[in-house]
Amino acid sequence: MTNRKSTILITVTLLLLASVLPGVGNSIAGSSNIASVLAQPPASDIGKKTVCAYCGMHLKVKKDTPGATYNNKNYYFCDEMERDAFLKNPEKYISTTPASRASSAAQATQ
């Protein structure tokens, strides 16, 4: 009987450990150095004029503007495709000026 009791105890301990581990993973993913999707622009950003962090187009932040957060800063984009491209390599878009990319993008479309 005592043997069976300790087996149950071990099982319960393992289950508790398993439920704690995903929480550890979440806190790593929440680190500010990782670019992540901004579910919704904060109220303080709505109505603000900014430039698309991907192509440099001027845009006004709306409730449904695609956004990303990186290094505790919010970035906004024309569409989800541009946001996804930014998420894959945020440093690339932060290290070059949007204006220089905008002029090359304008040339490409003409």
CB 87 within 8 A of CB 78: no
Give the pair of three-digit tokens for residue 97: 């000026």
Tell me the window of 10-18, 41-49, 56-64, 100-108 that interacts with Zn ion (CB under 5 A). 56-64
Q: Which of 36, 45, 48, 57 binds Zn ion (CB under 5 A)?
A: 57
Give the pair of three-digit tokens for residue 15: 């289950």
By the rule CB under 5 A, 52 interacts with Zn ion: yes
Rounded Cα distance between 19 and 48, Å, is 41
Task: Write the binding mask 9 to 48 for Zn ion: x where contact by CB under 5 A, - elsewhere.
Answer: ----------------------------------------
- In single-letter form, the type of residue at position 94 comes to I
Give the pair of three-digit tokens for residue 24: 């550890």
By the rule CB under 5 A, 51 interacts with Zn ion: no
By the rule CB under 5 A, 68 interacts with Zn ion: no
Comparing CA positions, the residue from 53, 48, 49, 50 lying closest to residue 98 is 53
Residues that bind Zn ion (CB under 5 A): 52, 54-55, 57, 78, 82
